Amino acid sequence: MPPGKRFEPKEPVHLDLPKDDPISVEELSKCDGTDPSRPTFVAIKGIVFDVGKNPAYGPEGKYHVFAGKDPSRALATSSLKAEDCIPKWDDLEEKDIKVLDDWYTFFSNRYSIVGKVEG
Ligand code: HEM
């Protein structure tokens, strides 16, 4: 499969134009799906995606542990542990960083980019 076609969703997804707004870690943490007045965000390598359309990230969802965070380390290492949901991936093995990059592609194909984690 050509690289551009990998991890494409089964159904076409409408994505908004990517935004470059700074989002603080504190604001990100509030966007964990528990506050109905806020969106639900997941960041990967500092880039923030709006995942609100997927209940998997909501309060009852299987992947709620990722919501309101940058869980790059957990995604890279296939972990669902809260302590791994941190934006530290530079010390990981190359194969894990490849997995993380694949998740970035997966999210880019499904969720709109709403900003970047500040700092
Ligand atoms: C018993 C083990 C697991 C099973 C059976 C499972 C199953 C699934 C299934 C069926 C999907 C949907 C795939 C799709 O939409 O194409 C999915 C998505 C996903 N899984 Fe797992 N998974 C497991 C473990 C994990 C672990 C350990 C992680 C940690 C990184 C993980 C992270 C994710 C993520 C981030 C998604 C994408 C959700 C989305 O935004 O669509 N999963 N999983």
Q: Which region, left, alpha or beta, applies to residue 78 given φ > 0 means left and ψ of -120 to 50 means alpha?
A: left
Contact predicate 22/43, CB 8 Å: no
**pLDDT at 1 (0 to 100):** 58
Classify residue 31: in a domain, yes or no: yes
Classify residue 12: in a domain, yes or no: no
Atom of ligand 1 nearest to the CA of 74: 30
Classify residue 13: in a domain, yes or no: no
What angle (nearest 5°) sits at the alpha carbon of residue 18, between those of residues 91 and 56?
A: 65
Classify residue 119: in a domain, yes or no: no
Domain harbouring 78, CATH code: 3.10.120.10
Q: How far is the CA of 39 from the centre of ligand 1 (A)?
A: 21
**pLDDT at 119 (0 to 100):** 76
pLDDT per residue, tens digit, the chain (119 aa), is: 565 578 899 999 999 999 999 999 999 999 999 999 999 999 999 999 999 999 999 999 999 999 999 999 999 999 999 999 999 999 999 999 999 999 999 999 999 999 999 97
**pLDDT at 6 (0 to 100):** 80
Our mutation pick for probing the ligand 1 site, out of 7, 54, 63, 70, counting the most ligand atoms within 8 A of Cβ, is 63
In this structure, the residues whose C-beta lies within 6 A of any atom of ligand 1 are 54, 56, 63, 74-75, 78-80
How many domains would you assign to the chain? 1
- Closest residue by CA, ligand 1 atom 38: 56
Tell me how far CA of residue 97 lies from CA of 29, 37, 43, 84, 89, in angstroms: 24, 34, 15, 14, 7
- Closest residue by CA, ligand 1 atom 29: 78
